[in-house]
Amino acid sequence: MASVEADVIADRDDSADLAALERSWREPPGLWGWLITVDHKRIGKRYIATALVFFLLAGLEALAMRVQLARPENGFLGPDRYDQFFTMHGTTMMFLFAVPVMLAWGIYLVPQMVGTRDVAFPRLNAYGYWVYLIGASFIYVQFLLNTGTDVGWFAYVPLAGPEFSPGKRVDTWAQMVTFTEIAALIAAIEIVVTVFKQRAPGMSLNRLPLYVWSMVVVAFMVIFAMPAVAVASTFLLAMDRLVGTHFFNPAEGGDPLLWQHMFWFFGHPEVYIIFIPGLGFVSSIVTTFTRRPVFGYVAMVLSLIATGFIAFGLWVHHMFATPIPQLGQSFFTAASMMIAIPSGVQIFCWIATLWLGKPRFQTPLLYALGFIVIFVIGGLTGVMIASVPFDLQVHDTFFIVAHFHYVLIGGAVFPLLGAITYWFPKVTGRLTSERLGKIGFWLVFTGVNVTFFPMHFLGLMGMTRRVYTYLPGQGWGGLNLLSTIGAFVIAAGVIVFLYNLAASWRFGAPAGDDPWGADTLEWAIPSPPPPYNHARIPIVQGRAALWSMTPDRPVVVGLNETRREVLVTTVMDAEPDNRQESPGPTPVPFFAALATGFLLILLVFTFQALWIGAIPLGLALFAWAWPRHPDRAWRLDAEAGR
Amino acid sequence: MLNPAGPQADSIFGLWTYMWIASTAVFAAVMVALAMALVRGRRRDAPDVSEAGEGRARRTIVVATGITLAILLATLVASYLTGRAYAVTPESGRPLQITLIGHQWWWEVTYNDSLSSRSLSTANEIHIPVGRTVVVKMTSSDVIHSFWVPNLAGKKDMIPGYSSTMWLRADRPGVFRGQCAEFCGHQHAKMALLVVAEPPAEFARWYDAQLADNMPPTDTTQSTGKNVFMSHGCVLCHTIRGTDAGGRVGPDLTHLATRRTLAAGTIPNNRGWLGGWVMDPQGIKPGAKMPPNDMRPDELQALLAYLQSLR
């Protein structure tokens, strides 16, 4: 076991070590370097950017749907195209935007926040991104050819089965699920291992920043939830469609309800997977902009964990209208209502923090406040629809559409926009415009309420979901038009938001290391961060890592700067345990992802893909596992006289 | 849902009223607390990290969480009681038994009587007597549909391979629109039906009229129309009792002219729309299973005359 010691160095000369660090963590320039990088920040950034592109695409799809619904019997999108649009809107928002963008922020932020140099498995991390990109592009190619999936993001059988959806539309969707599940599971594993084994010394679990806690909970949820849908879509649905099995075919003794159970066992936790990172963002923002640690750290952490657990006991509330026993339904009603408790506790704690702190009303805090307003409305309607009889009336109506957009936009998109504004200076080294930021916020906030609040009434008036049109005599035209207008207000807000980012990237004022006076470790390093993150691994002395740091700022010494090395610490107390070599840039993950993509895409068309695709994939994995010479670069350096 | 016409919808409306008031109160309370926090914090010179401040906040949060829990428990009990009343079929009298089968994209309605000669099959329009309990048994012939008449009761899924049951009752006469609530393919939007609640005597008259087989055509145009029906594709899918037409793919047309709408609640049942529907169903309901029909204008006119005579 290598020796690692913590030492206090009052007056140190770092320049030689820094040059060595630069050399070890340097990446090849140009396109090649871009393809082979394993740096969690570069991968995190491209992950976030890709997910945001899909956010915009899904937003455009939503606008098109709102135009179609603006008046009765409108002819903008026909039924086939409307069905493709709402399927792709849901699929994109859930699988290609929300989960990836949240995990991507985790990949970008967590290593810096826990004070390490890279994620636990950098090559796997790179592979995960490429798999996600290939799968997401694949389903969009199909959509742009006007043969997009048209059975909803929930793909209920038998409608999604071979008899009622011939062709390859649903197969592509099912395979896209596989791609994104692989990517999500990889990101989750990265986050769990990085947090548990690579925290800076002194950052025991009870000093973990709340954002990191939220990502740990989410990562575990991903690990437990995703396999259910992967099994359902990849094995059972694909087998029914491609091989001719009858898992879901009632005519042959299969069961269509099996799909619903498996889908929602994933689908409900999925909602919490999307919004728990949002809670983490809000905690970070509230702390920084009230200059006070979030009140009730322990209650906050327990609430996050409780939410993660209860989230797995709610899935049947999507199925109250199916013929299942009443006693079972009561259990899910109770669980669905009780999840309001941990959410409520967190809201109360943030309000207490604002009460006790000194809030600065800058754009990120506005988004956090907007989150509280919108999320509380969504949470209250959530309690309502946990009630079986009430749900039987509003289930599958626009009331539900209103409810979950309040929860997801409030719980995930607002915190995300706040987080982007908050960490933009760290990522790019430049400040954004406060004025544009605030204009964007108010446009989005107004737009969301104008779009989605009327939908509650539409649902109560009887307007069902997933309808491409409605009849003139039904009296739904006015509220629908209002909702469509709201959608364009949101779009205007998003344009202002993006313009602000683009302009600031180019012309923004330099941010410096820590423009907000924040408390977490990523603000201790330069903006944008160097490839190795922290020049010296800091030693953490309290929950608010930077605010509790003593003036001498103790650091770890003993890591080898002449090669890529990370410090491994113990799970509970983060005591130094070991040194671990971290791999350098390599094209292997990229080629392995290409081979995976080849196999999975071919599998849509023929089962023979299993062995045809196994050959390139096997070769790629062989190259991946080829023994490296961890010490060679170091030895060469040593021979050169270092 | 906001205009209940039966005990089911009525009890849910009551629950909704309670939840709406409770939610509005909770939302207002949270917003007031948030606003006060912001005003307080703004006046402060430095963040309060004192023990006293923490203690006050802790006590407030414990109380607030307790209130939340109490409201949730009250809601849970209210929901449970409503749900139990909702689920149990009333014992009073002999309920009317209806079997409903969902198809892409229309509703097959069968009234079951212990005398098979008194059983009756129709489509897309359910007549029920006011004040009498109706038990609806449901399933689907293809994909999942969901039966929902908001004025009367909550929805119930119709799943192939499963049989589900619900009861409902109308307490006042009226025509109530229902719609398929589970996405079932391209014409999910235009899969509606009407529930016509009428006084028992009127219902009995309607029932007896529906039981009768179709009368033979009374004039030459109608009998030409009947020949058009029998010699074109229509006969392959539709039944007209009392004739040779016995197709089971599409809706039963024996008493088509008595229905208020065509194409599952999509268009009014009049000569113009009927003609449009026969010639070009895909223009009105793209994706519908009914193919376009090609016929000469005089054939069409005769067919319409015949179809409109199916009373």
- Whether the CB of B34 is below 8 Å from some CB of chain A: the reply is yes
**Which three-class secondary structure string do you get for A11-38?**
CCCCHHHHHHHHHHHCCCCHHHHHHHCC
Say if residue A227 is preceded by a cis peptide, omega within 30 of 0: no
CB contact under 8 A, B159 and A292: no
Q: Tell me if chain A has a CB within 8 Å of the CB of B161.
A: yes
Q: What are phi and psi of B166, to 5 degrees?
A: -145, 165
Report percent pLDDT > 90 for chain B: 80
Q: What are phi and psi of A606, to 5 degrees?
A: -155, 145
A348 touches chain B (CB under 8 A): yes
DSSP character at residue A548 = T
Of A293, A321, A345, the CB nearest to B156: A321
Per-residue confidence (pLDDT) for residue A13, from 0 to 100: 58
Rounded to an integer, what distance in angstroms lies between the CA atom of residue B4 and that of residue B20? Answer: 16
In this complex, do B65 and A348 lie within 8 Å of one another by their Cβ atoms?
yes
Model pLDDT, residue A456: 96
Closest alpha carbon within chain A to B285 = A79
Angle between helices A169-197 and A210-230 (to 10 degrees): 140
Backbone torsions φ then ψ of A566, nearest 5 degrees: -120, 155
Q: What's the CA gap between A131 and A136, in Å, rounded?
A: 9
Q: What is the pLDDT of residue A6?
A: 45
The pLDDT score that the predictor gives to residue A1 is 36
User: Among A570, A546, A576, which residue's Cα sits nearest to residue A113?
Assistant: A546
CA dist., res. B266 & res. B188, Å (int): 11
Q: Which tens digit of pLDDT belongs to each residue from B270-286?
A: 999 999 999 999 999 99
ipTM for the predicted complex comes to 0.95
Which site among A396, A461, A476 would you substitute to test the B interface, given the most B Cβ atoms closer than 10 Å to its Cβ? A396
Residue in chain B closest to A382 (alpha carbons) equals B23
Q: Which residues contact A55 (CB under 8 A, 6 or more apart)?
A: A92, A93, A97, A101
User: A–B: how many Cβ contacts below 8 A?
Assistant: 247
SS (H, E, C) B40-109: HHHHCCCCCCCHHHHHHHHHHHHHHHHHHHHHHHHHHHHHHHHHHHHHCCCCCCCCEEEEEEEECCEEEE
Probe site for chain B from A80, A287, A351 (most B CB atoms < 10 A) = A351
Closest-CA residue of A relative to B156 is: A321
Using CA atoms, how far residue A304 sits from A62, A63, A100, A215, in Å, is: 31, 34, 20, 10
User: Are A384 and B16 a contacting pair at CB < 8 A?
Assistant: yes
Say whether residue A337 is in contact with chain B using an 8 A CB cutoff: yes
**Cβ–Cβ contact B79 with A under 8 A:** yes
User: Can you spell out the DSSP letters for B185-246?
Assistant: STTGGG-EEEEEEE-HHHHHHHHHHHHSPPPPPSSHHHHHHHHHHHHSTHHHH-B-TTSS-B
Residues in chain A predicted with pLDDT less than 70, given as ranges, are: 1-14, 629-642
Distance from CA of A372 to the nearest CA of B (A): 9
Chain B within 8 Å of A81 (Cβ-Cβ)?
no
Res B185: pLDDT: 94
**Whether A355 and B37 lie within 8 Å, measured CB to CB:** yes
Give the HSE-up count for residue A123: Cα atoms under 13 Å, Cβ half-sphere.
17
User: Is A345's CB within 8 Å of B65's CB?
Assistant: yes
- Which pLDDT belongs to residue A2? 39
Residue count of chain A, please give it: 642
Cβ partners under 8 Å of residue B192, min gap 6: B124, B177, B178, B179, B180, B261, B264, B265, B266
The chain A residue lying nearest B62, using CA atoms, is A345
Task: Report yes or no: B35 at the A interface, CB cutoff 8 Å.
Answer: no
**Tens-digit pLDDT profile for residues A566-577:** 999 999 999 998
pLDDT higher than 90, residue B86 = no
Residue with tokens 């003993």: A558
According to the model, what pLDDT value does residue A5 have? 46
**pLDDT for position A298:** 95
Contacts of A296 in chain B (CB under 8 A): 57-58, 61
**Choosing among B2, B30, B50, B81, which should be mutated to test the A contact, i.e. which has the most A CBs within 10 A?**
B30
Closest chain B residue to A464, measured at CA: B181
Nearest-angstrom CA–CA distance, B269 and B256:
9
Contact A392 B154 (CB under 8 A): yes
Phi and psi at A49, nearest 5°, equal -60, -45
Smallest Cβ–Cβ distance between B287 and the set A80, A464, A466 belongs to: A80
In A, minimum Cα distance to B164 occurs at A323
Shortest distance, CA A296 to any CA of chain B (angstroms): 8
CB pair distance less than 8 Å for B61 and A462: no
**Within 10 Å of residue A401's Cβ, how many Cβ atoms?**
20
At residue B122, what are phi and psi to the nearest 5 degrees? -150, -170
Element (H, E) at B145: strand B145-147
Q: How many CB atoms lie within 10 A of CB B298?
A: 11
Alpha carbon dihedral B26, A315, A346, A211, in 10-degree steps, equals -150
Q: Determine the residue of chain B that is closest to A350 in CA distance.
A: B34
Distance CA A431, CA A425 (A): 5
pLDDT the model gives residue A390: 94
Residues in chain B with CB shorter than 8 Å from the CB of A465 are 183
Q: Which residues contact A283 (CB under 8 A, 6 or more apart)?
A: A209, A210, A211, A214, A294, A300, A350
CA distances to A92, A130, B153, B174, B182 from A593, in Å: 21, 6, 52, 62, 38
Categorize the per-residue pLDDT at B52 as very low, low, confident or very high, splitting at 50, 70 and 90. confident
**Residue A629, pLDDT score:** 63
CB contact under 8 A, A460 and B2: yes
